Amino acid sequence: MVQGAMREAECVLLGGGGRMVKLQYWQEFKRAMSYMKPRAWTYGIGIVGNNVIAALGLNILMAFIYKDIVNAAVGSDMPLLLRSIGTAFALLAVSSLLCTILTYRYNASIRYTMTDIRQQTFRHVQRLPMSRFENTHSGEMLSRMTNDLNTIEHLYADSLGGIIYAVVVGFAAAIAMFALNWPIALFAIALGILTFYVNTRFADSFRKINDEIQRGTGKMTQALSDVISGVPLVKMFSLGGVIIRKYDQTNEDVAGLSTKRTRKYAYLDSVNSVLGSLSFVGIVIVGGAMALKKGTDFGTVMAFIKLQGNIGFMFSQAGNLATDVQRVLAGANRVFELLDDPVEREGSERSLLGDEKKAIELDGAVFRYGEGAPALDRLSLAVERGQTVALVGPSGGGKSTVVKLLLGFYPIESGSVKYWGRSGQSYSLSEVRDMIAYVPQEAYLFDGTIEENIRYGNMDASREAIIAAAKAANAHEFIQEQPDGYLTAIGERGSRLSGGQKQRIAIARAFLKNAPILLLDEPTSALDAESEKQVQDALRMLAKGRTVILVAHRLSTVEHADRIYVIDRGQSVEEGRHEELIRKQGLYERLYRLQLKDAAG
């Protein structure tokens, strides 16, 4: 985010001298075009052909035909008149047909290329490390993946097409004018340069407004994603008003800016049309005078009027197109920044589980989130195959951090993590995650059916295996009571299920995954007593024959653990079995006594 802001500051700084901005974005332009490589020919021929035909066939050549038509009419030359009208229709028909075919072809290549870019972006985002998601607003990322990504499409289609068209039509018109009558041509080009000058006066302020609108749109996406992902919280704390006001404000700002931009465009349009009319009148007067003195004919004057419009178009669009390209490339740049973010480390060579007894070992592990005090401070712990080890201790002590480290969400700073007696580094991240089933405090469910959600544990599982997993997880009964059984859609994040039901679906998923290591992070702390019991039963089944690390808030649930670690301020301050720790009369015993007193009322 900081990086993005800096880039923006740079653009504004450089915005003063248009040429420097263009240089700055040259890399982005080349990169955007590189995605088109597999379809370069179709796209290139399509976009160039379409615009060249539109420019020459429908404008420049048409001007010459106008000339013949007018001269034929003035000179009452019937055969010439008919021939010219026929040619005009033929030209119109052929050009339109070719343009339609070419447009269809190059639009198809744009669609495929955009699909590639979207796919690549989506894949990349999934491989970004956990920390990237914690340090960035999800809306900011969404905005890059939607608003900004769409600007690339605009570049391929409208911006480049517009430039090709304006350049071809402008230059061809200039050449045609000189071929027809050079004194009038000089006069017409002088008018064009005047138009260009007037239009560039506006370009800078358009760029500024566009930048602000882009930023505002990004903020709106952020506000939206805040509201949507935080609905329960927003409702719980009656934050609706605050959020709505924030959103309204940005929305109004953007609307205000858009209105301002529209007003400016309208103003520029009317200036351009006045300039156009003046040019028209000027050419009629100059050309008419020459025609009367037999310096030229009326047909040529007619052709000039048409060509003048083309030159005027090039000059009036030059500024707009430059602004447009800059805006679009700034958007592309934000997408490329995202694509350049480093991803998690890639896998090493395939490796099998060792058959060591030590399933998991942390030795002197140090880890910190960003700057500041370490969240884990030389923490050591060991879990043997088949054991259940509990992590307990005050909130904020670092228990969840241990779990997340074991899942490979973060790399440690120093110390070591070992699985089956081998360094964590020697496994690829997907191998690490394949050998672990993880049940967090609140199950994460995806939009879709119950069956699909269980299947995420093992994409190859059969229907029968899914049902067996659900039965083992105490979930089969309530699933059958759902309106469509296993095929019931559960709503986004399982909003149509209770906490306990969601948790049992997550447990069924873990059953299906059948991983040797099980990480449970306060899996029942969000549940009421009734669902807690059902989930506990399911978990007990799941834990059988596996190596388990259980983070527990309620100490009564860990009394039977093979070993208990008390984690406080990132360190393991006590360890042992329940009875040993009670006898020790330390932190564990104190926490235990407090909870007993609470339970007693």
Ligand X SMILES: Nc1ncnc2c1ncn2[C@@H]1O[C@H](COP(=O)(O)OP(=O)(O)O)[C@@H](O)[C@H]1O
Q: Which residues in this chain contact Mg ion in the complex, by CB under 5 A?
A: 400
- DSSP string over 461-527: --HHHHHHHHHHTT-HHHHHHSTTGGG-B--GGGTTS-HHHHHHHHHHHHHHHT-SEEEEESTTTTS
Distance CA 306, CA 571 (A): 82
Pick the stretch among 175-183, 266-274, 351-359, 396-404 that binds ligand X (CB under 6 A).
396-404
Nearer to ligand X, 134 or 477 (CB): 134
Nearer to ligand X, 148 or 522 (CB): 522
Pick the stretch among 90-98, 156-164, 323-331, 391-399 that binds ligand X (CB under 6 A).
391-399
Pick one of Mg ion, ligand X, none as the site partner of residue 134 (Cβ within 5 to 8 A by kind): ligand X
CB 254 within 8 A of CB 211: no
* Secondary structure class of 329 (helix, strand, coil): helix
565 to 59, 231, 402, 405, 560: CA distances (angstroms):
82, 36, 12, 16, 13
Give, as ranges, the residues between 207 and 266 that touch ligand X (CB under 6 A). Answer: none
The Cβ of residue 132 has, within 10 Å, a number of other Cβ atoms equal to 16
Pick one of Mg ion, ligand X, none as the site partner of residue 375 (Cβ within 5 to 8 A by kind): ligand X
How many whole angstroms from its chain centre is CA 67? 53
Task: Please give the structure tokens belonging to residue 80.
Answer: 């010439």
Q: Is the dihedral of CA 141, 143, 147, 148 positive or negative?
A: negative
Distance CA 385, CA 88 (A): 86
Nearer to ligand X, 268 or 403 (CB): 403
Does residue number 395 form part of the binding site for ligand X (CB under 6 A)? Answer: yes
Distance CA 567, CA 585 (A): 16
Task: Please give the structure tokens belonging to residue 251.
Answer: 């929305």
Give min distance, CB of 596 to Mg ion, in A.
22
* Secondary structure class of 572 (helix, strand, coil): strand
Residue 512 makes CB contacts below 8 A (sequence gap 6+) with 454, 455, 457, 458, 461, 465, 466, 469
Pick one of ligand X, Mg ion, none as the site partner of residue 500 (Cβ within 5 to 8 A by kind): none
Nearer to Mg ion, 381 or 479 (CB): 381
Among 10, 134, 252, 559, interactor with ligand X by CB under 6 A: 134
Give min distance, CB of 475 to Mg ion, in A.
25
Give min distance, CB of 353 to ligand X, in A.
27
Distance CA 549, CA 564 (A): 10
How many residues belong to the chain? 601
Give min distance, CB of 443 to Mg ion, in A.
15
Per rule CB under 6 A, count of chain residues that contact ligand X: 10
Nearer to ligand X, 129 or 398 (CB): 398
Binding map of ligand X across residues 482-521, x = CB under 6 A, - = no contact? ----------------------------------------
Give min distance, CB of 598 to ligand X, in A.
18
Place of tokens 């007990």: 540
Does residue number 400 form part of the binding site for ligand X (CB under 6 A)? Answer: yes
Identity of the amino acid at 169: V
Pick the stretch among 61-69, 232-240, 251-259, 395-403 that binds ligand X (CB under 6 A).
395-403
Give, as ranges, the residues between 342 and 381 that touch ligand X (CB under 6 A). Answer: 369, 375
CB 196 within 8 A of CB 166: no
Nearer to ligand X, 76 or 395 (CB): 395
Please list the helix, strand and coil fractions of the chain in percent, rounded to the nearest 5, in that order.
70, 10, 20
Among 67, 306, 399, 504, interactor with ligand X by CB under 6 A: 399
Nearer to Mg ion, 400 or 428 (CB): 400
Give min distance, CB of 551 to ligand X, in A.
7
Pick one of ligand X, Mg ion, none as the site partner of residue 436 (Cβ within 5 to 8 A by kind): none
Give, as ranges, the residues between 49 and 88 that touch ligand X (CB under 6 A). Answer: none
Does residue number 144 form part of the binding site for ligand X (CB under 6 A)? Answer: no
Pick one of ligand X, Mg ion, none as the site partner of residue 523 (Cβ within 5 to 8 A by kind): none
How many whole angstroms from its chain centre is CA 302? 51
Q: Is the dihedral of CA 80, 85, 86, 90 positive or negative?
A: positive
Pick one of ligand X, Mg ion, none as the site partner of residue 572 (Cβ within 5 to 8 A by kind): none
Closest to 360 in 3D by CA, of 466, 255, 281, 432: 432
Which residues in this chain contact ligand X in the complex, by CB under 6 A?
134, 369, 375, 395-401
